[in-house]
Structure 1
Amino acid sequence: MLSSEQMPQPPSSEIQPFTADRLSQVRTFTSLTDEALRVRAVTAARDKDLAELWGLTLAYLTSDTSAGVKTSSHTLRAYRKGVEVLVEHAQANAWNLLHPARREPSVYVATLTTSGLKPATVLARIAAASALYRALRWAGATDADPFADVKRPKDRTKGIVKNPPYRQTFVQAMLNEADPQERVLLLLLAHAGLRIAEALALTWADLDPSARRLRVQHGKGDKARMVPLSAKLREALTEWQNERTAQPKDRVLVLRAYSSAYERLQKLALRAGVEHEFRGFHAGRKYAGTQLYAATKDFTRVAGFLGHEQVDTTRRYVEVPEDDLEDIVEHFR
């Protein structure tokens, strides 16, 4: 699956990975016999039919991968865009999708790289192309795996440098202008360190104010975790709850979609006069991780807080001051 660093910024409104129950959508492929599925996939590849090829890819991702039906809509949007870009390239360059020439995938990657896309975006496009070919193999349409040996571009600039944590001045400026719901959303990111999908899925039943914590029921990889609540976040939640008549099963945020939450915070940044500093949701998680590391100096504890399985992932979320060793080195014997 794509990492968060590879995710494109907010999806265009016309690209929607699904509009109904995902299992119902993919059943049109999974209910076919092996031969019928193969024929349908071969026909879609021959005609370079984007709708069919994406449907096939979605069916594969949903039914035959470890994430399955719980693959996030954000990840699916990135895959959907990548399949679209590949199909457009194949149409323009007379690709035989089922049997691409040996050098064509490398040329495709070079085309993406020279078009000005960032390395992370190119990697996301390659991941989507690889998913399409896994789906075609799953359907029995081809044995081709053209992107297996393609050289991936490397980004020498660390993610924490390209997209550093928000600064305290930015967070405070946003909080000063935020309405109750916006304040809760911002603090779920910047104090609780939640992913945007986790924040949008949070229900009132997931909160335990007396214990000063919340429970993420379905984090990345379907892992649950407990997250402590800061005093500011508890205060914001109380203020927001007092404005609403909500049941425990109700979601905390009225906002439902990634795009609507993005637009809401973008407009808030404009009101606060810090629109040029707004960089989406992930810089908020990095803000939380960086604050916690500054207090604990323990990547393992920060990893648990952010819901990372690997500490190496956490290192990409924490901004460590370059001069934090000066006092220690000063007293070497």
Structure 2
Amino acid sequence: MSRLEIVAAHLDLAGRTERLARLEPDELRRRAVVACRDGDEAELWAITEAFLVTRGRKGARVSERTLETYQDSVQTFVRWALPGGVQLLRPRAAEGFSFVRHLEALKLMPSSVQVRLSGARTLYAALRWAGATEANPFADVKAARDPRASHEKRSPYTDTEVNTLLAAADPQERVLLLLAADSGLRNSEMTDVRRADLRLDEEHPHVQVRGKGRGGWSESAPLSGRGVTAIKQWLAIAPADNEFLLTWRTRKSTRLRLLHLCERAGVRYEGREVHGLRHTAGTRTYQQTGDIMEAKDLLCHRDITSTQVYVQYARRGKKAANRDW
């Protein structure tokens, strides 16, 4: 996305949320009450989004990825609450805890539970801001802590597994795999890549990327040889009128595509998901170079402590120094 497009997107976001925020208090309250009564997910999200943008810490600079995550979390809560008879404006004190226990029973990762809890908590902050309720069912609710160490939470795919996936993948899926497993791109970064961002025929082929860890600015991510080949093969048959490299426009659609590919190839998806491919890139970089800064630069980590987890991945199975003493 160009800088001009980003500015335009933020102006549109600020405009629509400001229009909602400027409603007369009675009208804003009425819309929130009706949305809760009808279970209107779109309106509940519009109110939550307006609250985030007008009252949130990042204001109109909040990222598209953050908004998408919060929207999904609000939707998850509403779809759990209404069939269960929860009155959105008058929830019982225990229902916040019940929602979190429900998420944990689904075997979601603790980080995923925490994200959905944050979304539900923000929904009620927005409803209180709108004057629709004074309820705060998530005030004292906490998700269970994850007892696992950081390097145990989402392991990388092995080289053998990546090759198995590549063999089962269609041309577009191969691009997805190699942008993540070889170049370390995040899910949201891959869906944002445009054809104009590609530098395939330069001495050092790369792609211009803008994303979460890149400070809001475009940076170059090096492409592997097989990555360049896969991209060229895909572009030869891809829809010519699509400015984006991939046809999938949301992180959810990318997750589903990889899930189905893993099922076809017989490769475990759970506990690794799309982000596990990025872990593959970081781990392999450290294994081959022994240089943690190389892995840090590839993954565009702001802090090297985020990169240290890849050292742990790389050391798995390595014989202890004192084994033959």
Taking structure 2 as the reference length, the TM-score comes to 0.75
Shift of 1:67: 6.7
Aligned pair count reads 305
2:69 to 53, 56, 75: 75
CA distance in 2: counterparts of 1:267 and 1:106, whole angstroms: 33
CA distance in 2: counterparts of 1:251 and 1:116, whole angstroms: 34
2:274 to 281, 286, 301: 281
Secondary structure in structure 1 of the residue aligned to 2:207 = strand
Matched, 1:253 2:246: yes
Aligned residue in 2 for 1:198: 189
Aligned residues: CA RMSD: 3.7
Task: Please tell me whether the aligned partners of residues 182 and 227 of structure 2 are also in contact (alpha carbons under 8 angstroms).
Answer: yes
Matched, 1:161 2:152: yes
CA distance in 2: counterparts of 1:148 and 1:189, whole angstroms: 38
With 234-243 and 61-70 compared, the bigger mean Cα shift is at 61-70
Q: Percent identity between the aligned chains?
A: 32
Aligned residue in 2 for 1:54: 45
1:240 to 234, 245, 261: 234
CA distance in 1: counterparts of 2:230 and 2:284, whole angstroms: 19
Aligned residue in 2 for 1:36: 27
Matched, 1:92 2:85: yes
CA separation of 1:295 and 1:138: change in aligned 2, threshold 3 A: farther
CA separation of 1:320 and 1:137: change in aligned 2, threshold 3 A: farther
Aligned residue in 1 for 2:6: none
CA distance in 1: counterparts of 2:254 and 2:103, whole angstroms: 29
Secondary structure in structure 1 of the residue aligned to 2:183 = coil
Q: Which runs of 5+ in 1 are unaligned?
A: 1-20
Shift of 1:122: 3.0
Deviations 1:144-193 (CA, angstroms, capped at 9, x unpaired): 54434323311212454343111111111222343432222210011111
Deviations 1:80-127 (CA, angstroms, capped at 9, x unpaired): 3333156337x6255654xx5655534543455456655344323311
CA separation of 1:268 and 1:136: change in aligned 2, threshold 3 A: closer
| Letter of the structure 2 residue corresponding to residue 128 of structure 1 | G
Q: Which runs of 5+ in 2 are unaligned?
A: 1-11
Taking structure 1 as the reference length, the TM-score comes to 0.73
Matched, 1:216 2:205: no
Aligned residue in 2 for 1:17: none
Matched, 1:321 2:312: no
Aligned residue in 1 for 2:120: 129
